[in-house]
Amino acid sequence: MQAEWSDLDRYFTTALQVEDRALNGALAANAAAGLPAQDVSPLQGRFLHILARLMRARRVLEIGTLGGYSTIWLARALPADGRVVTLEANPAHADTARANLAAAGVADKVELREGPALDSLPLLAGGEPFDLIFIDADKPNNPAYLEWALKLARPGAAIVGDNVARGGAVANVVSQDPSVHGVRRFLEDMGAEPRLTATALQTVGVKGWDGFSIAIVNATD
């Protein structure tokens, strides 16, 4: 089925005119720099872009920059005074992302903080809250990222988690994979959290079988 999923993704991408030179250039630069091919797909990138626009987001937090491909999509969705704060642990990945953001013309809307996310997140506490938080980093730490997302999000904000299906492995209760354990705890914590209303969607396409979780931070009286 992978060939059919990929073919359909490519058709959607072409029919909906999703790609452009800057985005393709970022992917090419990531590959040339030897970054892992873990970027969201073009269609997933546009999904994030549309979600940010629907929410009229002005402040976005991204946990896991990689080469900045998804960061470009998010930054393009923001108004002139909008800001993406993106966190990247790997210095080489951060260097590639900075170059990609500059080439795409969105560097002025992005603050890239280099270092482990769990070191950077406490430094954001007490600042202006975020409208949209995208969690796409090391999966064993997803539960901790969710805790920080709740601290940093405004009521009504969206929290999006990537790679939550793990090719179906997330349903395997005896899995020994730390990433599966992290995602399972992440999902179960969301389900048990009264401040959140959450769902998860399986996806197939050029990235194989995976999915997103999406939660909204409930308004408080």
Length of the chain: 221
Question: How much is the pLDDT for 135?
Answer: 98
Question: How much is the pLDDT for 170?
Answer: 96
Cα torsion 37, 46, 186, 94: sign = positive
pLDDT-derived band at 51, boundaries 50, 70, 90: very high
Is the confidence at residue 219, as pLDDT, over 90? no
Please enumerate in sequence order all residues whose Cβ is within 8 A of that of 17, keeping only pairs 6 or more positions apart, or say none.
none
Q: Is the pTM of this model over 0.85?
A: yes
Is the confidence at residue 189, as pLDDT, over 70? yes
Is the confidence at residue 64, as pLDDT, over 70? yes
Question: How much is the pLDDT for 121?
Answer: 98
Top pLDDT among 23 and 219 is at: 23
Question: How much is the pLDDT for 199?
Answer: 98
Domain ranges, ordered by start, for the chain: 2-217
Averaged pLDDT, 22-29: 97
| CATH number of 2-217, picked from 3.40.50.920, 3.40.120.10, 3.90.1150.10, 3.40.50.150 | 3.40.50.150
Q: What does the alpha-carbon distance between residue 162 and residue 153 come to, in Å, rounded to a whole number?
A: 18
Q: What does the alpha-carbon distance between residue 220 and residue 166 come to, in Å, rounded to a whole number?
A: 33
Q: Is 133 helix (H, G, I), strand (E, B) or coil?
A: strand
* In the chain, % of residues over pLDDT 90: 98
User: Per 3-state DSSP, what percentage of the chain is helix, strand, and coil (rounded to 5)?
Assistant: 50, 25, 30
Q: What is the pLDDT of residues 111-155, one digit of tens each?
A: 999 999 999 999 999 999 999 999 999 999 999 999 999 999 999
Please count the other Cβ atoms lying within 10 Å of the Cβ belonging to residue 6.
16
Strands 208-217 and 153-162: antiparallel
Give me the residue label for tokens 């954001």.
124
DSSP summary character for residue 134: E
From its phi and psi, is residue 75 left (phi > 0), alpha (psi between -120 and 50) or beta? alpha
CB distance 64 to 135 below 8 Å: yes
Is the confidence at residue 193, as pLDDT, over 90? yes
Q: What does the alpha-carbon distance between residue 157 and residue 202 come to, in Å, rounded to a whole number?
A: 22
Element (H, E) at 65: none
Question: How much is the pLDDT for 206?
Answer: 95
pLDDT-derived band at 74, boundaries 50, 70, 90: very high
Question: How much is the pLDDT for 221?
Answer: 60
